[in-house]
């Protein structure tokens, strides 16, 4: 038996979520620095120039309160900002403005669905607001600083160490992404770092009373890398222990090409940052009425959609694919509300089979619900084949309209005229090439009908209704 089976991993995850504001947390600079020239999205406050005073972005506070609802968490009536001191070229002030002692979002939890249909509950310790630092790019013997991200508004969501498998870590990261994007807290562009995960992992033998020394794998920006980094660290730490060596508390990076973690620096503790209250920023004071008013604007969240889709009669994997994008969930929900369960089930299956489920932003033309209902109705009445339905569904998702007109233009409507199909059936049955199939059917081998239906579809150029063709064959034989 593998030695790895003797150990349990314990994981806590810190997630940095970039808030979807127009401007930065304390300055008027543009918050969207994607593909921008270095140091082009900055104002004097972002450079930390003497005499520059921060002004808190109210919209960032609003989005943090919305995030609190998605995390089933209470919101602090009074929260404050602190200075976290460290000295690095991409932090020109010499400190990061964060919330150490009085964060805005208090304890909460999320239930993350697993692939096996169960879920894992992960408690949220707290979430605090903070600004991002800039970015260093290294070129051999020198480095360059880009301050476009300096001052970007973030919330850092800190989980309790409730995760005990790599797959559960991935599930938690995935659900957190969905909650934050559905709530409108972030744009969720993982490629550009809108959400970044720091995975803290330790190992200990089953039954141990103390957790092992933890390593923190920083800045993971995909759910797959969260899972793979946890798997790698689990084995790396056990291998060290089994050789009689110590696991070092440190910060590690993830090398996606090699699928390994590498040491970056020893892990600092809170006292190393010399936290102190920020005297330039007044406390955030929120009343119950303000919190309720803000949270009333939060759209429908993933757990509500899952409850709604539970009666569709589709696999959990199909529900998972629908949930991968808010737009998909909204489409199925709208069809369910307007056209009922059967139509919604068809649309859900079309989405799961044909659309991208990568958890990144998808440019999607949201089709008219009436067009989807019309397409579902045409399919139900066998006016089109399942392949034609898929083709028309993809056309609607690419911005086209009126499925019946599209079906006529593309010659996709099936012939359901019994007289027209009967003539083709008689022609196929009279063909000498069909003699063996006819004989087989008369001998009780119904599978041979497939050959005859195929011939009828061929002669009708795919337009004959196969169900009607089969009915007519049985009647004649």
Instruction: Give me 200's structure tokens.
Output: 């803290």
Residue 7 β-bridge partners: 205
Q: Last residue of a domain, which of 290, 316, 341?
A: 290
Q: Which residues of the chain have pLDDT under 50?
A: none
- pLDDT at residue 270 in the model: 60
> Do 354 and 433 lie in a common domain?
no
- Is 234 within a domain? yes
404 and 434 both lie in a single domain: no
Residue 80 domain flag: yes
The answer for residues whose C-beta is within 8 angstroms of residue 331's C-beta and 6 or more apart is: 347, 351, 366, 367, 369, 372
Are 254 and 362 found together in one domain? no
Q: Does 30 reside within a domain?
A: yes
79 and 101 assigned to the same domain: yes
**How deeply is 115 buried, as exposed, middle or buried, from its count of CB atoms within 10 A (0-12, 13-18, 19+)?**
exposed
Q: Given this model, what pLDDT does residue 286 score?
A: 98
Same-domain pairing of 368 and 427: no
Nearest to 206 by CA among 401, 7, 369, 30: 7
Q: How many CB atoms lie within 10 A of CB 385?
A: 19
| 301-337 pLDDT tens trace | 999 999 999 989 998 889 999 999 999 999 999 999 9
Which CATH number goes with the domain that contains 462? 1.10.10.410
Is 295 contained in some domain?
Answer: no
Tell which of 385, 409, 433 closes a domain: 409
How many structural domains compose the chain? 3
Shared domain for 243 and 284, answered yes or no, is: yes
pLDDT of the residue at 403: 93
Q: End of a domain among 376, 409, 442?
A: 409
Whether residue 143 is found in the same domain as residue 268: yes
Print the domain residue range for 374: 302-409
Give yes or no: residues 124 and 250 share one domain. yes
Burial 86-101 (b: 16+ CB within 10 A, else e): eeeebbbbebbbbbbe
pLDDT of residue 365: 73
| Closest C-alpha to 177, from 216, 218, 221, 122 | 221
Q: Whole-prediction pTM value? A: 0.87
Q: Are 226 and 9 in contact (CB under 8 A)?
A: no
Is position 388 within any domain?
yes
Do residues 233 and 93 share a domain? yes
pLDDT at 84: 95
Domain-located, residue 424: yes
142 three-class SS? strand
* Per-residue model confidence (pLDDT) at position 357: 74
| 142 shares its domain with 256 | yes
Residue 340 sits in the same domain as residue 430:
no
pLDDT value at residue 452: 72
Answer whether residue 221 is part of any domain.
yes
Q: Which residues contact 4 (CB under 8 A, 6 or more apart)?
A: 234, 235, 238
Residues 206 and 128 in one domain: yes
Position 207 scores a pLDDT of 84
In a domain, 297, yes or no: no
């Amino acid at each position: 038996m593998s030695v790895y089976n003797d150990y349990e991993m314990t994981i806590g995850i810190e997630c940095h979520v970039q808030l979807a504001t127009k401007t930065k947390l304390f300055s008027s600079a543009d918050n969207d620095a994607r593909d921008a020239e270095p140091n082009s999205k900055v104002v004097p406050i972002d450079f930390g120039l003497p005499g520059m005073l921060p002004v808190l972005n109210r919209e960032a506070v609003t989005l943090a309160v919305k995030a609190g609802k998605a995390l089933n968490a209470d919101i602090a009536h009074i929260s404050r900002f602190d200075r976290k001191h460290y000295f690095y070229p991409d932090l020109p002030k010499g400190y990061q403005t964060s919330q150490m002692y009085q964060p805005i979002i208090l304890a909460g939890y999320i239930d993350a669905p697993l692939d096996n249909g169960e879920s894992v509950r992960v408690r949220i310790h707290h979430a605090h607001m903070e600004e991002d630092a800039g970015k260093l790019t290294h070129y051999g013997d020198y480095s360059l600083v880009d301050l476009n991200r300096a001052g970007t508004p973030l919330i850092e969501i800190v989980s309790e160490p409730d995760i005990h498998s790599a797959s559960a870590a991935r599930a938690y990261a995935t659900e957190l992404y969905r909650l934050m994007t559905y709530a409108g807290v972030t744009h969720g562009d993982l490629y550009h770092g809108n959400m970044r995960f720091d995975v803290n992992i330790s190992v200990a033998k089953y039954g141990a009373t103390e957790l092992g020394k933890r390593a923190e794998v920083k800045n993971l920006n995909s759910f797959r890398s969260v899972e793979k980094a946890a798997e790698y660290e689990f084995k790396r730490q056990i291998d060290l222990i089994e050789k009689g060596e110590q696991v070092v508390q440190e910060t590690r990076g993830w090398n996606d090409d090699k699928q390994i973690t590498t040491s970056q620096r020893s892990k600092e503790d809170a006292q190393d940052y010399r936290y102190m209250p920020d005297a330039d920023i007044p406390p955030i004071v929120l009343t119950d009425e303000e919190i309720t008013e803000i949270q009333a604007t939060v759209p429908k969240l993933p757990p509500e959609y899952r409850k709604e889709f539970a009666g569709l009669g589709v696999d959990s994997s199909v529900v998972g694919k629908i949930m991968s994008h808010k737009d998909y969930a909204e489409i199925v929900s709208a069809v369910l509300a307007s056209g009922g369960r059967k139509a919604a089930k068809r649309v859900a299956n079309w989405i799961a089979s044909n659309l991208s489920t990568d958890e990144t932003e998808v440019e999607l033309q949201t089709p008219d619900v009436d067009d989807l209902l019309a397409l579902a109705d045409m399919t139900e009445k066998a006016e089109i084949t399942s392949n034609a339905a898929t083709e028309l569904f993809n056309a609607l998702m690419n911005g086209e309209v009126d499925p019946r007109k599209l079906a006529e233009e593309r010659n996709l409507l099936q012939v359901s005229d019994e007289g027209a199909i009967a003539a083709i059936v008689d022609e196929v049955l009279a063909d000498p090439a069909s003699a063996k199939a006819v004989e087989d059917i008369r001998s009780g081998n119904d599978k041979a009908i497939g050959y005859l239906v195929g011939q009828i579809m061929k002669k009708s150029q795919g337009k004959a209704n196969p169900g009607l063709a089969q009915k007519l064959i049985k009647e004649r034989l």
